[in-house]
Chain A
Amino acid sequence: MKRRDFLTLSAGTGTAAALAACGSSGPSNSGGSGGAAGAASYWALSGQPSEPIRRAAIDRFNKANPSTQITGTYFANDAYKQKIKTALGAGEGPSIIFNWGGGGLKTYVEAGHVEDLTDWFAQNATVKDKIIPASFGAATVNGRIYARPVESVTPIVLFYNKRVFDQVGVQPPQTYGDILDLVPKFNAKGIAPFSLAGQSRWTNMMWVEFLLDRTAGSDVFNRVFAGEKNAWSDPAVLDSLTKVQDLVRADGFIKGFSSITADSSADQALLYTGKAAMMVHGSWSYGLQKANGGDFVSSGALGYMNFPPVDGGKGDPSNALGNPGQYLSISTKATPEQKEIAKKLFSTTLLEDEEIKGWVGAGYVPVLKGSETQLSTSPNADFLKFVYDTAVNAKLFAQSWDQALSPTASETLLDNIAKLFQLQISPQQWVDAMNGVIGK
């Protein structure tokens, strides 16, 4: 084709398209950029090892459904949290919204941004029955389900470095009292008892959560979550906060912990390099230790356990804390076609064998009931069985506080926890500050 012909042709089609667009009186989503009606958008998190598993699932869906495509976009964790809020606020959000359930999901629900999936789950009981029931708690707002639990259950556990324990000649702690006894022993050898990425703040929060849970059980936080006035003014809270500050004063955490970020995985490195003996962290840490720690995991040097009971505490030591799952919601702004595509994704591709293999291989426990058999054949079988048992045998699997609370209350919580660890405020000041944002 000669250049002139090409130009004429392209100009011609351009005009035709413009005319067609002007003349269209049908539904606004027909026409336009070709095939838009048959495509839904999906936003999720980037990063190893999860992103390839997510990408592969979307690819499989697109291959199986050539007429209805899903376009995936992947963002870094913290960037995504800001991006999704702004996008939803501006009405530019994706059709399928990745989220963490809890307080964040509640704000979407209250603003009318996500579809009520209760009836859909009732009609698709097979989908619902496969999923670990504990995962639905964070997807439920006012008794209605607004998200499909996906991916993996990740409780928070206590990791430890067996090599360092052998070197110092001590045993893993059975109670919180044992932890306190271990602190001076490790410090005497120049090893930090606990690794902690304090700048990230939610890392510190896990300590407050566990100490309160093991001291008094889940009642206190349930009252806070329910918006009960002055719910933090429970003696058990003061007790737990005092324990935190005592541990900080006893040099329980690594020097400079308040300037370490979890994003850089420096806290993980402290554990596998033996600079720190123990670390309280999400079960996803296993994958990071395995990927970055050389032979640390493969040689069996990584130890793990549920957070031990506090002596004299009323909390059930089987209670677990963390993320009972990740969640996908459907945008109310999506077209009917896009919603259908999303529902098709929810009932087919997600957590089918191929995807389960991906999660298990990367060291994750899928949010599925009865997946023990798949777990036991994995190279990470021991750890995965431990995580599965922790999640399934837990009398209660509580969602992390910062996810469970509204963003407003959560920011105040993290801010005050950072100050608590910095010894900038007293436990009583913490309680007063937090009582001020109950129900907000």
Chain B
Amino acid sequence: MTMLAPPAVRVTELPTTDRGRGRSVVWMALPALVAFLSFGLIPLLGALGLSFTTWDGIGNIQFTGLDSWKAALTDPGLPHTLAVTFEIMILSWLVQTPISILIGVFIAGRQRYRGLLAVLYFIPLLLSSAAISITFKAILDPNFGLGSGLGIGVLNQDWLGDPTLAIAVLIFVVSWQFIPFHSLIYQGAVRQIPTALYEASQIDGAGRLRQFFSITLPQIKYTIITSSTLMVVGSLTFFDLIYVLTAGGPGDATRALALAMYQKGFMANLMGPASCIAVILVLVGVALSQLLRRLGGRGDESQMEGM
């Protein structure tokens, strides 16, 4: 999956002389700009263009105006696909965020064993989604998997063959894969909080719980926004995981937008409607990240709240 990372550093004022400053900044942005143009903007415009055509991916491209949009938007499967997409998005956010914050806060401590744990936690992120999916698929297999192999009845469910369980498994695997990453972000954020705040609160008699809710959480507010944006926008692009794990099944129970796009475009040879879904994905992604920015308040206010 792709991750849209916000700029790590905000350049406001450079403490150098004014001469040639603007030019050098443009130069520095050039490689990123070229990459964005060639791998982001141009394909995006290509998809937008294709969404007004009829094309089977092999023959000639015919401009057919809004036909593909009509086909994509009146597809009886679209509401379900959208619902699945948002269901996965919301559930994976709800599961990942609290756990990531708690783990992040925990491993932010300086003890050596926590460093070791942080490394162990990090391992799932190093594996590819396809490998993770194949592994979980094998473990959860109703006939040859862990449950039936060990004879543990509770584990021996039809994990990926039951619509509700399949969504649950998907959320679990997504969380298993990405919680380490978000924990790491939170760990960094928590370590940035000045210890003076905790020392002062201790003097005022605040307990650990009070410290967590009154200092830690407000101080990592922007990190929560950042991490949530990554989770939410990232969840729109879940493809490999779903494709390998359930292929959208059982039936269409786990068919999210990205998978629907692939099936329309590359399996049903309907590139026009598939491009429409791609454009819808981009629009939803942009809208959600803007919404999250708004929720996070003005970007230019001090992150050192109360300092």
| Structural contact, A418 and B249, CB atoms closer than 8 A | yes
Interface centre among B58, B59, B270, by most A CB within 10 Å?
A: B58
| Structural contact, B58 and A107, CB atoms closer than 8 A | yes
Complex CA–CA separation, A418 to B246 (angstroms): 12
| Structural contact, B142 and A408, CB atoms closer than 8 A | no
13 contacts between A and B (CB under 8 A): A88-B58, A198-B249, A255-B158, A256-B142, A256-B143, A256-B158, A256-B160, A258-B160, A258-B251, A259-B142, A259-B159, A407-B267, A408-B269
Q: Is A419 an interface residue (CB 8 A)?
A: yes
Q: Which size class do B's interface residues fall under?
A: 20 to 34
Q: Which of the residues B144, B251, B263, B264 comes within 8 Å of A269, measured between beta carbons?
A: B144
| Structural contact, B251 and A199, CB atoms closer than 8 A | no
Complex CA–CA separation, A410 to B269 (angstroms): 10
Interface centre among A407, A412, A419, A421, by most B CB within 10 Å?
A: A407
Q: Is B99 an interface residue (CB 8 A)?
A: no
| Structural contact, A199 and B58, CB atoms closer than 8 A | no
Contacts of B2 in A (CB 8 A): none
| Structural contact, B59 and A418, CB atoms closer than 8 A | no
Q: Which of the residues A89, A257, A260 comes within 8 Å of B58, measured between beta carbons?
A: A89
Can you list, as one digit per residue, whether each of B240-269 has a CB less than 8 Å from chain A (1) or not (0)? 000000110111110000000001101111
Q: Is A281 an interface residue (CB 8 A)?
A: no
- Which residues in window 34-73 of B have CB below 8 A to A? 56-60
Interface centre among B59, B247, B251, by most A CB within 10 Å?
A: B251
List the count of A-B residue pairs having beta carbons below 8 Å apart.
103
| Structural contact, B143 and A411, CB atoms closer than 8 A | no
Contacts of A199 in B (CB 8 A): 160, 246-247, 249-250
Nearest-CB residue, chain B, relative to A418? B251
The stretch among A35-43, A108-116, A118-126, A131-139 that forms the contact with chain B is: A108-116
Contacts of B266 in A (CB 8 A): 82, 85-86
- Which residues in window 209-264 of B have CB below 8 A to A? 246-247, 249-253, 263-264
| Structural contact, A85 and B250, CB atoms closer than 8 A | no
Q: Is A424 an interface residue (CB 8 A)?
A: yes
Nearest-CB residue, chain A, relative to B77? A415
**Contact A111-B144, Cβ < 8 Å, known A256-B160, A407-B268, A411-B268:** no
Min CB–CB distance A98 → chain B (angstroms): 16
Min CB–CB distance B256 → chain A (angstroms): 15
Contacts of A421 in B (CB 8 A): 251
Told that A198-B250, A411-B268, A412-B268 touch, could you supply 13 new A-B pairs with CB distance under 8 A? A82-B266, A85-B58, A86-B266, A258-B251, A259-B137, A259-B159, A259-B166, A408-B56, A408-B268, A411-B267, A415-B252, A418-B251, A422-B251
Complex CA–CA separation, A399 to B223 (angstroms): 57
| Structural contact, A107 and B144, CB atoms closer than 8 A | no
| Structural contact, A113 and B58, CB atoms closer than 8 A | yes
Q: Please report B residues at the A interface, Cβ cutoff 8 Å.
A: 56-60, 137, 140-144, 158-161, 163, 166, 246-247, 249-253, 263-264, 266-270
Complex CA–CA separation, A415 to B268 (angstroms): 10
| Structural contact, A255 and B251, CB atoms closer than 8 A | no
Contacts of A254 in B (CB 8 A): 142-143
Min CB–CB distance A99 → chain B (angstroms): 12
| Structural contact, A111 and B251, CB atoms closer than 8 A | no
Q: How many residues of A contact B (CB 8 A)?
A: 37
Complex CA–CA separation, A112 to B59 (angstroms): 8
Nearest-CB residue, chain B, relative to A200? B247
Interface centre among B60, B137, B161, B163, by most A CB within 10 Å?
A: B161
Complex CA–CA separation, A113 to B159 (angstroms): 44
| Structural contact, B161 and A257, CB atoms closer than 8 A | yes
Interface centre among A113, A199, A261, A419, by most B CB within 10 Å?
A: A199
| Structural contact, B251 and A424, CB atoms closer than 8 A | yes
Contacts of A422 in B (CB 8 A): 163, 249-251, 253
| Structural contact, A259 and B160, CB atoms closer than 8 A | yes
| Structural contact, B160 and A107, CB atoms closer than 8 A | no
Nearest-CB residue, chain B, relative to A417? B251
Contacts of A112 in B (CB 8 A): 59
Q: Is A275 an interface residue (CB 8 A)?
A: yes
Contacts of B251 in A (CB 8 A): 258, 418-419, 421-422, 424
Complex CA–CA separation, A254 to B141 (angstroms): 12
Nearest-CB residue, chain A, relative to B142? A256
Contacts of B161 in A (CB 8 A): 198, 255-259
**Contact A108-B246, Cβ < 8 Å, known A270-B143, A407-B267, A411-B263:** no
Complex CA–CA separation, A421 to B253 (angstroms): 13
Can you list, as one digit per residue, whether each of A405-434 has a CB less than 8 Å from chain B (1) or not (0)? 011101110010011011010000000000
Contacts of A198 in B (CB 8 A): 161, 249-250
Contacts of B60 in A (CB 8 A): 111
Contacts of A255 in B (CB 8 A): 142-143, 158, 161
Nearest-CB residue, chain A, relative to B250? A258
Contacts of B160 in A (CB 8 A): 199, 256, 258-259
Nearest-CB residue, chain A, relative to B134? A264
Q: Is A266 an interface residue (CB 8 A)?
A: yes
Min CB–CB distance B92 → chain A (angstroms): 20
Nearest-CB residue, chain A, relative to B60? A111
Min CB–CB distance B150 → chain A (angstroms): 16
| Structural contact, B58 and A259, CB atoms closer than 8 A | no
Can you list, as one digit per residue, whether each of A214-238 has a CB less than 8 Å from chain B (1) or not (0)? 0000000000000000000000000
Complex CA–CA separation, A82 to B263 (angstroms): 11
Contacts of B137 in A (CB 8 A): 259
Contacts of A256 in B (CB 8 A): 141-143, 158-161
